[in-house]
A and B are shown apart, each in its own frame.
Chain A
C-alpha cells in the first residue's frame, strides 16, 4: 500500500509541474519541444514496460507509432472523421498489430527477437512507402486537422501541450499501475528468469504478449498525437532511426524505471535538438555518449548518476576496493 501512495504523490507532483511548466517556458518553440518530449515519453513508457520489466527488446517500436499516426491521419483527412476517433483507432490498431505479430515474434529471444522486431519495423515502413493509394507514399499525408474540444481547436502549441501533458501523466499512472499489478509481478519474474517463472506457474507467453500489446497501443496512441500535432506524416519519421532513438530513451534513462523513461525521452529529444547546430558532430557526440553510458552506467543515467553521487559521497575505501 505504501508503494501505491508514494506513486500517487509523485504523480500528483508531476501533474502539478506539468501544469505550470508552460508558464516558465521561454518561447513557443520551447513549448513545441515539450510537446514532442511528451509524445516520445508515452512511447518510451510503453517500450520500457516491455524492455525494462518484461526484458524483451524491440527494435521496431517506431512501426507502432507510425501505424497509429497513419491510421489517425488517413481517418481524419481521407474519411473526414473526428481526430478523436483517429486517436482511438490509432491506439487500437497499434495494439491489434502488436497482438497479431507478437504471437510468433515473442517466441524469439535475445538477439533473435531484436532482429525479428527490426525486420517487422522495416517492412511496416516499406508498406508506408509502397501502399500509395492509402498513404501517399513518399509524399506523406498532409493537412491533418488538429484536435478540438467543444469547438475549440487545439491548434496552438500551448493547447496541444495540455492534451499531451495530460496523456503523458495518464501514461505514467497506467505504467505504474501495471507494474504494481499481478501482470507487473509476473513480468518481473519473466525478466529475472523465464524458466523459473514458467515453472512456478506463470504463463510467461501470455504476459509477454499482454505487455507487448500494451506497448503497441501506447505507441499507436502517441503516433496519433504526433500526426495531429505535426499536421503531417511521412514514412521517414517512423524508420529504423526512430526505433533506435526510442530504445536509447529507455536505456539512457534507465530500464525498469518509469521516471527514467520520461527523463530519457526528454534527454534524447533535447540532445537531438541541441546538437542539430553542430551538424555532423551531433552524431559523433551522441554515439560516444551512448557507448560511454552503456559501458560505465549500464543502469542508465537516471540511476547511474544517483549511484555515482552516492559513491562520491560515500567512503573512499569502498571506491578503492572496487578498483582493486
Chain B
C-alpha cells in the first residue's frame, strides 16, 4: 500500500484541474454506490431499529452472483436481475431465521446476531468463490469517453444512471403505493401501525428483502470496476455505514447525500494521499458522531436516542 508517512511527502502535491475533475467523477460513482448501501441500512433501521452489519455481505454476494452469471453466459441484465432476486430472498431469509426469533433482544445481542450472519455469509462466499478477486465484464464497451482533459468510463455512467433510477423507484414506492405508506407508518410507530391493521412483521421482512435487493444491485454494478471478492463487503458495508451516519441515520435522502459526499471527499482525500483513503471515511464518521450525531439531514427529535 502506498503511504504518506514522512518518507513520501512528494505525494502531497496539489492536483490540477483535470485531476480534480477525474476525482470528482470517480467520487460521484463510488459515492452513489455508498449511497445505495446506506439506503439499505436506512430501510432496515427504520423498520426495526437494527443496524444490519451483514449489509456489506449482501453487496459482496450480489457482486459474486452477478459475475458468475455473466461468466456463465447470461446476458448482463439477466445476470444483474438474478443477483437482485437472490439477494432479495437472502434478505428475507435472514430476517426470518435470525432476526425474528430474537425479537426484543438487547442492542448488543442484535449487533452480534448480524455480525454472526455476516461472518457466516463471508464463509459461504469464500467456500463458493474462493479467496481471489474475480473480474466481471463491464455492462458495455470498456473504452472511456473523453471529457476534455478527463475521461469517464461507460460503467461510471451506468452506475450513476442505475442509482438515480433506483432512488426514483424507491421514492415512488414509498410515496405512491400502499405498501410504501405501510412501511413508512411502521417506521414512525410500529405499534400504532399494527393497531390500524398494518402487518408490521411482514413489513419488517419486506424491509430486509428490499435491503437485500439494493445490496445485490449495488454489488453487481460496482463489480466491473472493483472486481468481486468474498471479503469486499466488509469495507463497502462500513463505508455505507459512514454514509448513513453522515446523512443522518434513518433518513433516506440523507443516506444518498451522505454517500455522494463521502465518495467525493474520499476520492479527493485519496488523490492527495492514497493511504489515507479509509481514514477520510472513518474520520468524517467520528466527527459527525461527536459534533452532530443526527447527521446532516437527521431529525432533531432523533437526538435523544443517539446521545445521553
Interface positions of A (Cβ within 8 A of B): 51, 55, 57, 59, 104-105, 107-112, 114-116, 118-120, 122-123, 126, 129-133, 137-138, 194, 204, 240, 244, 247-248, 251, 255, 280-291, 294-296, 298
Contact = CB atoms under 8 A, between A and B. Distances in A.
A240 B121 CA distance: 17
Given A280-B126, A291-B120, 5 more contacts: A115-B51, A281-B123, A283-B120, A294-B102, A298-B102
Nearest to A121: B282
B81 to A, nearest CB: 27
Given A119-B289, A294-B109, A287 B123 contact: yes
B234 interface: yes
Given A116-B289, A130-B275, A137-B5, A286 B127 contact: no
Contact of B308 (A107, A283, A287, A298): A107
B117 A287 contact: yes
A317 B91 CA distance: 37
A129 B109 CA distance: 32
A105 B306 CA distance: 11
B273 to A, nearest CB: 9
B127 A284 contact: yes
B290 interface: yes
A104 B3 CA distance: 29
Contacts of A118: 238
Nearest to B244: A115
B116 interface: yes
A133 B9 CA distance: 13
Contacts of A240: 234, 238
Contact of B107 (A57, A294, A296): A57
Contacts of B242: 119
Given A57-B111, A118-B238, A123-B279, A290 B306 contact: no
B147 interface: no
Interface string B117-142: 11111111011000000000000000
Contacts of A104: 290
A280 B124 CA distance: 8
B305 A108 contact: no
Nearest to B308: A109
Contact of B112 (A107, A112, A131, A251): A251
Contacts of A282: 123
B306 A109 contact: yes
A114 B111 contact: yes
30 contacts: A51-B108, A107-B290, A107-B307, A109-B305, A110-B107, A110-B305, A111-B111, A115-B285, A116-B285, A116-B286, A123-B279, A123-B283, A123-B286, A129-B3, A132-B3, A132-B6, A137-B3, A204-B308, A244-B115, A251-B112, A255-B108, A284-B120, A286-B119, A287-B116, A291-B98, A291-B116, A294-B102, A294-B105, A295-B98, A298-B105
Closest 3 CB pairs of A and B: A287-B120, A283-B123, A290-B116
Interface residues on B, range: 35 or more
B278 A112 contact: no
Contacts of A281: 123, 127
Contacts of A283: 119-120, 122-123, 126
Contacts of B21: none
A57 B5 contact: no
A287 B97 CA distance: 13
Contacts of A122: 238, 278-279, 282
B96 to A, nearest CB: 12
Contacts of B73: none
A312 to B, nearest CB: 20
Contacts of A130: 3-5, 275-276, 279
A118 B286 CA distance: 9
Interface string B260-281: 0000000000000001101100
A59 B115 CA distance: 11
Nearest to A120: B286
A119 B282 contact: yes
A234 to B, nearest CB: 13
Given A107-B308, A111-B51, A119-B286, A138 B108 contact: no
Interface in B72-120: 98, 101-102, 105-109, 111-113, 115-120
B5 A295 contact: no
Interface centre among A51, A119, A282 (most CB of B within 10 A): A119
B222 interface: no
A288 B286 CA distance: 31
A129 B105 CA distance: 37
B279 A126 contact: yes
Contacts of A290: 112-113, 115-116, 119-120
B163 to A, nearest CB: 24
B293 interface: yes
Contacts of B293: 108, 112
A131 B286 contact: no
Given A57-B108, A104-B290, A281-B127, A132 B116 contact: no
Contacts of B118: 287
